[in-house]
Structure 1
Amino acid sequence: MTSPSELADELWAHLLRTQPQLALHAGEPVTQLPRGTHEEASEAAALGRRLLARLGSEADADSSIAAVVRELAGNLAGGDDDFWWSFPIAPYQSYGWTSFVQQVFRPFTFATGDDARRYLSLAGDFTHAVKAARTKLAGQAEQGIRLPRPALAGFRTAVRAHRSAAAEFLRPAESRLACLDAAARGALVDGVDRLIADELLPAFDAVLAYVDGPGAQSAVEGIGLGQYPGGAVAYRRLVRQYATYPIEPADVHELGLARVQQLTEQLTEVRRETGFDGDEAAYRLRLEADPRFHAPDPEYVAETYRRHIAAVEPQVDQWFQVRPRAAYGVHRLDPELEAGMTFGYYEPPIATNPVGRYRFNGSGLADRAQISAAALIFHELVPGHHFHLARQAEDASLHPLQAQGAAEALGAYSEGWAEYAASLGFEMGLFADPWDRYGALLHQRFVAQRLVVDTGLNLLGWSEDKARAYMASTTMESPAQVASEILRYGTDLPAQSLSYRLGFEKFWQLRGTAEQELGSRFDVREFHETVLGAGSLPLTAVEHNVKAALSR
């Protein structure tokens, strides 16, 4: 039987070839971009099934690398079916196009004519990806997966933003072409211009025409996978995929209701500590009148994040045995891409840009609460995403599949760790200010309500209005942010939002087990090394590793 390590090599080679961000992390040239076709998904599914068959059910059951191969190959194996359950022009789904711009095209270095030809080939791949989006939308409609009308405006905004930026980012500045001879330079410039005018912009226009024409005419009025044929089954599969351990959507929903209630009670206690005897709605009005609640400009947001980072940095060594070497910081999102995103995202360091960054949403600041800034930046950078993604990428002892390839696919580990890490702020004394403590609890309740709303929308038949009302009552987000989040759950990334709180729950469950069994011998630094040292894993494997450590 083939060893798990050999299968990991094969799977890593596939990911390295098909996911450009991984090639960039590895310092290798990007030779192709994913085109987003069903043929690609089917080829990947066939590979996943072959790997699973060769791995077998008993192979190295105690091996972390076997667990990663089994989980990722299993995800690939169902990819040809799962392909149809995502709309390629939704704001988060189309983020891949943004990453092509930021990570591939803008930093591309030209040294020879071969580089110029590779650049043109990549631009062609990007164009094919836009064309494939139009093809996929039509294919979805044929299967009864029609566009959700409430999301159409956001879909249009996302596509138009990409279209407006396309010509600018694909045309490299003359200063970047100085190393090319005149013939290669001329062929590149002419080739890019023709591609943009003859193929790329018309491809974007075809997508928009479909959305405004057949897509709008056949659009359904609701949101959520459950309204489509086979959608309930697909959603259950996605819940298991994002959780990385067995759990039923109904149990997720009940867990969410219980956690929201607990956090609401804790918020009440904090209000009482401050001497406030009114209800939550009245307290919200007080906070909204506080100038700290709103940022006057994006730089104020960045400075707020930096202040909280400076507070946690001196404590890191008391809680962790290993620090990542890569630097980190905050940077605003490209403004044209902010409309469809509620917050932002962590951008890991790569060879051409070796700094991990939280790219934050700097728009709509009049309605964007800053009260949870501390919890948010602890989640995104230190000791959250940067502390596990950057350090595992730097760990030469890990197979690259664990160090780099698995992080995005194993969301319950990545997002669950970040949520757990943010909650360490209570023990570290970083939420001593009642305002920050209240914000941290609000952040936790925001994440917990996702368990309720995501399952409600996608499986339990909740209407958009019901979801909006529940979320408005359990968060301090503005109406615009509530609307954006609900569309994220129901039309953009169904089940993905569950990974945050489900992972958080699992990490704290495992820590509680370790504390109970070890008593005075419990060392939080050793526990953190146990769960971080093996890189990104399915949570079933994290649990196995913790139990193994306790038995030693």
Structure 2
Amino acid sequence: MRGRRHAAGIPVWLVVWTAACGAPVDERGGEGRSAGASAQLAALLDSAWVRDLETNPFVRLREGVDVERLPALDYEAAEERAAFSQRQLERALAIDAAALSADERVTLETLVWQAEMAVEGHRYFWLRSVLTPYSSVLRSYSQIFPLLPLEDDEDLDRFVALVEQVPSHVRGLEDYVRGQFERDFIVSSQNLAPVVQLVRATAGEAEGGPFALPAERASGLDPARVAEARARIGDIVRDSINPALEELAAFLEGPYAARAPAGVGLSQYPEGREYYLYLTRLHTTMEVTPEEVQAAGHELLAEFRARMAEIRDRLGWEGSAEEFHEHLKTDPRYFPASQEEVRERLLASSTRMLERIDAYFLGVPEAPWDARRLAPELEPAMTYGYYSAPTAAEPTGIYYYNGSNLDQRSWLGLASISLHELIPGHHFQIAGQRESETLPDYRRNTSYTAYTEGWGSYASHLGFEAGVYEDLYSEYGFYILESFLATRLVVDPGMNYFDWTREEARRFMRENTLESETQIATESLRYSTDLPGQALAYQMGKRKLLELRARAEDALGDGFDLRGFHDVVLRTGSVPMVVLEGQVDAWIGLSGSGGDGP
């Protein structure tokens, strides 16, 4: 058995503990303020963790807690979340940090950073992306329902009950979108067709869609009960979910489309520039500006161009860079012949890194990993794919790759993608963090973009260093992907802060990447109309990790231990980069004095 937790969604031990202690469930502090700093922090941490379990279906799935409701989308719920964060912040700032252990201070600093950003971010409630392909609320259905447990009749009833909530959830999404519409935050007409396509793709028959009962996992249940549940789900999809989705699509194609702006980027909206400044700090978890980010992008692109020129020389190429790139984009030798070849190449690169892992890391997570093709309805709007971490229902970490248009998807970058997404990238870091026996529950489940994506990009770099790239063409593919990620630092602030048109951004990407027109089209929409600021995290996070590593190497000289450096980064878990920097500095200090680090 999986150690499933029922009750009111809270583990029994936590209910008992909080009821006995009192303070953790009292968000105002109360008696906890008279206790020591560690006890106050524990109370603060537990209230944050209890809230995560109560409100976040993805945390519940990971922890094996029954998912009983979909997240609220209304302003009142957001107001309550912001108020909770404000109370958490006030409690955190009242704690005497000097009285805490080093690891407790990391937890406190992380909680303070998170609460401050949550309170500040509430100001931009109506500017959030909820329709566009990467950030669509509708995507959550295909991420939740296929992973719901189906071990007994109670699970079956909960599955159906959650499907029954979907129509009102879709109507809540439409209410939010209409609220944005009234405040002149409307998705660009350039991305509206994929939005409507996704809405309509979510509708359809119950079987085969996101609300289908997974046949394999329901095979142990009473066939009559399963048939009854399938029939009920079919009725809900046909009579309630599909009409709600069609109403949303009709609104988007009618009054909404009539007012959709032709341009892209946040700067065209009221408070859009202010929001982008916030997003830049949120996603990089550093105090940086769009100007600094863009400058970093230009520096990295210059470095990568030089490295690529060196590889062309080693290959004996006598033509220009443009001619070499045209050769790579048009010669069929550089393109996978089948879906299976894509998967094999992804798995092979991570396997090669795993064979070298002991030279770079002190341990390996236990969770298995795999690569599988994306759902077809997601492929038109997603350039690459995404990693899905292990859960109680699906214990395998999976990279879902885009398997469409293989004649436009060179295999040259697959090794780098594999290392980024699987070993030693996302799977290695996220599964290891979730399996940690030392991190508190709250920190086992945190995810900060710059740390997570920065580590993924650093992992690709590490594979290059470890000799995982088998030939010069694969090495070139590494720099192709690095250049692609570096262009984000230029075009993302360009379109969202500096008033670039989408065509200006696309032209810059054509000049500095080998991406196809299809990929450039989807990526430029992603940055400017879908997830502004998020793409900054990859190279900015990796850049900070390399900076911290270089700092440690300079300070410790021959005493620098790469495995120890990786251990302190991974053992800390996903935290804001400003917090991680303090941890690495403390490790350098202790390592230099003969200690083992924080």
* TM-score bracket for the superposition, by shorter chain length: over 0.9
Structure 1 residues 437, 105: CA separation in 2 closer, same or farther (over 3 Å shift)?
closer
Residues 1:152 and 2:192 are matched in the alignment: yes
2:462 pairs with 407, 414, 424, which one?
A: 424
What are the ranges of 5 or more consecutive residues in structure 2 without an aligned counterpart? 1-32, 34-38, 591-598
The residue matched to 1:170 in structure 2 has which SS? Answer: coil
Structure 1 residues 271, 357: CA separation in 2 closer, same or farther (over 3 Å shift)?
same
Give the equivalent residue in structure 2 for 1:332: 373
Give the equivalent residue in structure 1 for 2:596: none
Q: CA deviation at 1:220?
A: 0.3
Give the equivalent residue in structure 1 for 2:77: 40
> Aligned equivalents of 2:574 and 2:423: distance in 1?
17
Residues 1:277 and 2:318 are matched in the alignment: yes
The residue matched to 1:345 in structure 2 has which SS? Answer: strand
Q: Which amino acid aligns with 2:169?
A: A
Residues 1:515 and 2:556 are matched in the alignment: no
> Aligned equivalents of 1:163 and 1:511: distance in 2?
49
Greater CA drift, 1-10 or 28-37: 1-10
Aligned pairs for 1:288-327 within 5 A: 288-327=329-368
Aligned pairs for 1:205-244 within 5 A: 205-244=246-285
Q: CA deviation at 1:71?
A: 2.5
Q: Which amino acid aligns with 1:364?
A: N
> Aligned equivalents of 1:435 and 1:177: distance in 2?
47
Q: CA deviation at 1:57?
A: 6.6
**What are the superposed Cα offsets for residues 288-328 of structure 1, whole Å, 9 maximum, x if unpaired?**
34434211221111111122122211110110001101111
> Aligned equivalents of 2:269 and 2:582: distance in 1?
37
2:297 pairs with 239, 256, 259, which one?
A: 256
8 Å Cα contact 2:434-2:444 kept in structure 1: yes
Q: CA deviation at 1:223?
A: 0.7
> Aligned equivalents of 1:537 and 1:337: distance in 2?
30
8 Å Cα contact 2:146-2:214 kept in structure 1: no
**What are the superposed Cα offsets for residues 497-548 of structure 1, whole Å, 9 maximum, x if unpaired?**
0011110011000000000000000010000001110211111111001111
Q: Which amino acid aligns with 2:87?
A: R
Aligned pairs for 1:355-370 within 5 A: 355-370=396-411
Q: CA deviation at 1:52?
A: 0.4
Q: Which amino acid aligns with 2:43?
A: E
Q: CA deviation at 1:263?
A: 1.1
> Aligned equivalents of 1:105 and 1:127: distance in 2?
18
8 Å Cα contact 2:454-2:538 kept in structure 1: yes
Q: CA deviation at 1:207?
A: 1.3
Residues 1:60 and 2:60 are matched in the alignment: no
8 Å Cα contact 1:38-1:80 kept in structure 2: no
Q: Which amino acid aligns with 2:124?
A: D
> Aligned equivalents of 2:121 and 2:157: distance in 1?
31
8 Å Cα contact 2:138-2:199 kept in structure 1: no
Greater CA drift, 260-269 or 465-474: 260-269
Give the equivalent residue in structure 2 for 1:533: 571
8 Å Cα contact 2:41-2:95 kept in structure 1: no
> Aligned equivalents of 1:322 and 1:133: distance in 2?
43
8 Å Cα contact 2:280-2:533 kept in structure 1: yes
> Aligned equivalents of 2:167 and 2:116: distance in 1?
30
Aligned pairs for 1:407-418 within 5 A: 407=447, 410-418=448-456
Give the equivalent residue in structure 2 for 1:76: 118
Residues 1:8 and 2:45 are matched in the alignment: yes
Q: CA deviation at 1:68?
A: 2.1
> Aligned equivalents of 1:25 and 1:298: distance in 2?
29
Q: CA deviation at 1:170?
A: 2.5
> Aligned equivalents of 2:575 and 2:543: distance in 1?
16
Greater CA drift, 124-133 or 254-263: 124-133
Structure 1 residues 60, 108: CA separation in 2 closer, same or farther (over 3 Å shift)?
same
- Alpha-carbon RMSD across the aligned residues, in angstroms, is 2.1
Aligned pairs for 1:494-513 within 5 A: 494-513=532-551
> Aligned equivalents of 1:16 and 1:445: distance in 2?
39
The residue matched to 1:454 in structure 2 has which SS? Answer: helix
> Aligned equivalents of 1:303 and 1:187: distance in 2?
40
Q: Which amino acid aligns with 2:566?
A: H
> Aligned equivalents of 1:165 and 1:92: distance in 2?
23
Residues 1:480 and 2:522 are matched in the alignment: no
Greater CA drift, 55-64 or 459-468: 55-64
Q: CA deviation at 1:55?
A: 0.6
8 Å Cα contact 2:61-2:147 kept in structure 1: no
> Aligned equivalents of 2:135 and 2:585: distance in 1?
37
Give the equivalent residue in structure 1 for 2:10: none
Q: Which amino acid aligns with 1:152?
A: L
8 Å Cα contact 1:385-1:414 kept in structure 2: yes
Q: CA deviation at 1:203?
A: 1.1
The residue matched to 2:204 in structure 1 has which SS? Answer: helix
8 Å Cα contact 2:311-2:472 kept in structure 1: yes
Structure 1 residues 548, 173: CA separation in 2 closer, same or farther (over 3 Å shift)?
closer
Q: Which amino acid aligns with 1:262?
A: E
Q: CA deviation at 1:104?
A: 3.0
The residue matched to 2:348 in structure 1 has which SS? Answer: helix
Q: CA deviation at 1:25?
A: 1.1
Q: Which amino acid aligns with 2:41?
A: P
TM-score by length of 1: 0.94
Give the equivalent residue in structure 2 for 1:92: 134
Structure 1 residues 177, 442: CA separation in 2 closer, same or farther (over 3 Å shift)?
closer
Q: Which amino acid aligns with 2:177?
A: L
Q: Which amino acid aligns with 1:155?
A: V
Give the equivalent residue in structure 1 for 2:3: none
Q: CA deviation at 1:250?
A: 1.1
> Aligned equivalents of 1:125 and 1:244: distance in 2?
35
TM-score by length of 2: 0.87
